[in-house]
Homo-oligomer: A and B are copies of this chain.
Amino acid sequence: MDVDLWVHSAAQLCIVPPSPEGPQRGRRLGELGLISDGAVAIKDGIVVASGPTDEVGGQLDAIAVEIDARGKVVAPGFVDPHTHLVWMGDRAAEFEQRVAGATYLEIMAAGGGIMATVRATRAAPVAELVDAMRPRLDRMLAHGATTVEVKTGYGLDTEAELRQLEAIVTLDRQHPVALVPTFLGAHAIPVEFRECPEAYVMLVIEEMLPAVADKARALGLARLPFCDVFCEASAFDLDQSRRILEAARALGFPLKIHVDEFEPLGGARLATELGAVSADHLVCTPPEEIARFGEVDTVAVSLPCTPFGLGHHAYTPAQAFLDAGAALALATDCNPGTAWNESLPFVMALASRYLRLTPAQALAASTLNAAYALELGDRAGSLAVGYAGDLVILDLPDYRQLAYRFGTNPVEKVIKAGKVVVDRSVAHD
């Protein structure tokens, strides 16, 4: 067989195979399909063979590009299923105030918090949004991400939300990383609706959702973006969240939901009831709602950078989710308020420590299961035959070092759809 790319002789090849039921659920999380002296062959952007170097090599005829991965780890490109990558401005001053003891309300009163980001983001045209997002996405790619979800939600009016969506779609077409858009008009109640949040909920349902669907078609998207809601005491209550998500579902949007970051409102149960593709955060989810994740397809997405970013000590009770049989995934939650971090390797290192995931579990939760959180589990996040030819070559002799070490970037090369798009082997750090 002729192939475009052959990566061979890897010290360890992590295939991360799908299970018979798809994602790696519960205690099955962490099946890497690990192969010593492993190889992957890619043709037309798709994995056509993966396994021991001698077996894969025996099937090959013409090879366009060959990479010797001796002494290194080869794994699927990382998948980040939850980011807020399109924002303007920063909130470094607010961070400093928070460290010094300012409360959330004091920060809001001083003009900080999410509305500071909304003000800056609303003012920006699409091209500026794209320019602001690009270096962040470059860093994500340099840290191994090949598929990244990006949410709107700093517009909070119809036009600004549509501009954010357009920026995401625009950058997707310019950048090696595949972007998956999510509409998060229900991220916060904007200040101008503070006295009548119900009117904002109606705006989301009646004006924004149809406008986003129209815009998605006008932009030529093959499927509608996800629709997401921030279900939290400070944002949208359970009833408002339900109404928005039901309206979105009726229009054909696949669903996501932010739940239980600070207070349990029943959002996790709502996610499983509505068949949401994922429920995200899940820090203070009650045990009876955790149990539901063993019975449904909704992926449980943990975002450990958020408590870390806030200096909190309560993280997703990941072991309880695994005991329940949940499909657990990880994401950066990269955002300017609580967690400005573009590195999924750091997320894995953090999750090994404060969620007690083994390195193998953290890796599977950042690849295959993360792809399932984006309804892409049949094509991304694995190096099984038929999956996208997206992979990372790590300058590590053992995949466990991904989580064991922290603070530095282990990625040497990133390959997207069979093409080398990052090579840090020359000026390595």
Contacts and interface: CB of A to CB of B under 8 A. Distances in A.
Interface of A: 90-93, 95-96, 99-101, 138-139, 142-143, 305, 308-311, 313, 332, 340-343, 345-347, 352-354, 356-360, 397-398, 400-401, 403-409, 422, 424, 426-429
A429 B143 contact: yes
B138 A404 contact: no
Given A90-B397, A345-B407, 14 more contacts: A92-B404, A96-B358, A99-B403, A100-B358, A101-B356, A309-B353, A311-B356, A340-B404, A340-B405, A341-B405, A342-B407, A343-B407, A343-B408, A346-B407
A409 B428 CA distance: 12
Given A90-B404, A358-B96, A138 B429 contact: yes
Given A310-B353, A353-B308, A424-B427, A408 B342 contact: yes
Contacts of A424: 427, 429
12 contacts: A90-B404, A96-B359, A96-B400, A99-B352, A309-B406, A310-B353, A311-B353, A340-B406, A343-B408, A345-B407, A346-B407, A408-B409
Nearest to A347: B407
A427 B426 contact: yes
B407 A359 contact: no
A356 B99 contact: yes
Contact of A92 (B354, B357, B401): B401
Contacts of A90: 397-398, 401, 404
Contacts of A343: 407-408
A407 B311 CA distance: 15
A139 B429 contact: yes
B92 A398 contact: yes
Nearest to A339: B406
